[in-house]
Structure 1
């Protein structure tokens, strides 16, 4: 049985209906946390929240919120609905597989809105409550491409690399309130997105990953749990990529 060291903690996880976000929520719920999952579509959210662990004899409450994380009005609603969040995980992500000249303006705005503004708006919405509580943890899911770049990922990489400067700046603003903010930089992880890769693209990605395999969402979830629990880590970029950043 896992250690129940997140009992009583309220966690909000964007991108929580699948993939890395859902894996993090599952890991947190297994440790006793109350989890709120955020995504755009209600049906996948309902399905995801129904699968979250509920520890026997604990009065755990798991919930969902549907909306666009790149819209500040959504976050105003979120704070009203769930004001006492102590762990915020910005895991929502919008992928890109297109060269810059072929990427439409609307797609550029969507990429930046979800991948960067979503984390900024979410932090802005909840950091005041964390300051009042004098405790908080914010975890942003970035990407190894933020460090390496990649063909067909210019806007994606730019939006994710922006999380580095954002986290480091926030550390200087809120550390005195015992609020920590860190980034996780996954490489290629087995998700719906990697499942859709062509055989050639998958082979190329594996050739650039020294460990020779894609990661598992639970490995990223374990890292998020580690960052949630370790109270002396802030302002860091934790890379989980099988050596991709080195081998690229």
Structure 2
């Protein structure tokens, strides 16, 4: 069923991985998607892979840095009709804090946290005028569990949870919903780089005994975008990792 037919969505980090999987799922449901990333060639390939929504609308992309406020100022002028915003752009970390440079710390926070804050600031304002909107932030189970070598990543993802709770109080009266998805270990480029020892150790802590797929996260996003009475929630999709 095309239950997102005619809806306009913007997905950051949309050129690959979780972001592209969410865009694909939304496009299958009839939505028109705008993908955001920094690599134009990857974006072109990603857009061309999406199912066509209809003859009147076409998928599109924007090249930019989500951690730059000026990008969002331009984005909301270029794409004012967005009703579904997915803040999926993320920068991984694999370094102890004492070995992490100030530049790397700044980049992690800008991409993982400020990008979602800026995107929400500009698009929630636009959505409020039309009394309709849905925002999904991609956090992480590491926001709750933490882990050596991921201090800044975990902190930035945890920040999304407090931000989301606060925004519920600000935007609900405008018929805008905002939720978080907390993925566990998902089969992406990041987990593919894990050595076999680390991978086996993590798998031993997952009750379902497998890593998740990007489609698992895309299905969770589709649930949140179509569930009109769900807002302010943290939807954990981790195979039981955080419960073990």
TM-score for the superposition, normalised by structure 2: 0.98
Q: Number of aligned residue pairs: give it.
A: 244
Structure 1 CA distance, aligned partners of 2:40 and 2:201? 35
1:224 matched to 2:221? The reply is yes
- Tell me the equivalent position of 2:35: 37
SS in 2 for 1:110: helix
**Displacement of 1:80 after TM fit?**
1.4
- Tell me the equivalent position of 2:235: 238
- Tell me the equivalent position of 1:198: 195
Q: Deviations over 1:146-193 (max 9, x none)?
A: 010011000000000000100000000010111000000000000111
**Displacement of 1:211 after TM fit?**
1.1
Structure 1 CA distance, aligned partners of 2:73 and 2:205? 42
1:148 matched to 2:145? The reply is yes
Structure 2 CA distance, aligned partners of 1:151 and 1:210? 22
Deviating 4+ runs (over 2 angstroms):
57-60
1:189 matched to 2:186? The reply is yes
SS in 2 for 1:185: strand
Structure 2 CA distance, aligned partners of 1:59 and 1:27? 19
Structure 2 CA distance, aligned partners of 1:208 and 1:107? 29
TM-score for the superposition, normalised by structure 1: 0.97
Structure 2 CA distance, aligned partners of 1:149 and 1:202? 17
Indicate the RMSD between aligned Cα atoms, in angstroms.
Answer: 0.8
**Displacement of 1:227 after TM fit?**
0.3
2:96 aligned to which of 94, 99, 120: 99
- Tell me the equivalent position of 1:27: 25
1:68 matched to 2:65? The reply is yes
- Tell me the equivalent position of 1:14: 12
- Tell me the equivalent position of 2:86: 89
1:126 aligned to which of 110, 114, 123: 123
Structure 1 CA distance, aligned partners of 2:90 and 2:97? 18
- Gap runs ≥5 in structure 2: none
Q: Which moved more, 1:15-24 or 1:77-86?
A: 77-86
**Displacement of 1:38 after TM fit?**
0.2
> Would you say the 8 A contact 1:88–1:137 is kept in 2?
yes
**Displacement of 1:59 after TM fit?**
2.8
**Displacement of 1:110 after TM fit?**
0.5
Structure 1 CA distance, aligned partners of 2:48 and 2:93? 30
SS in 2 for 1:64: strand
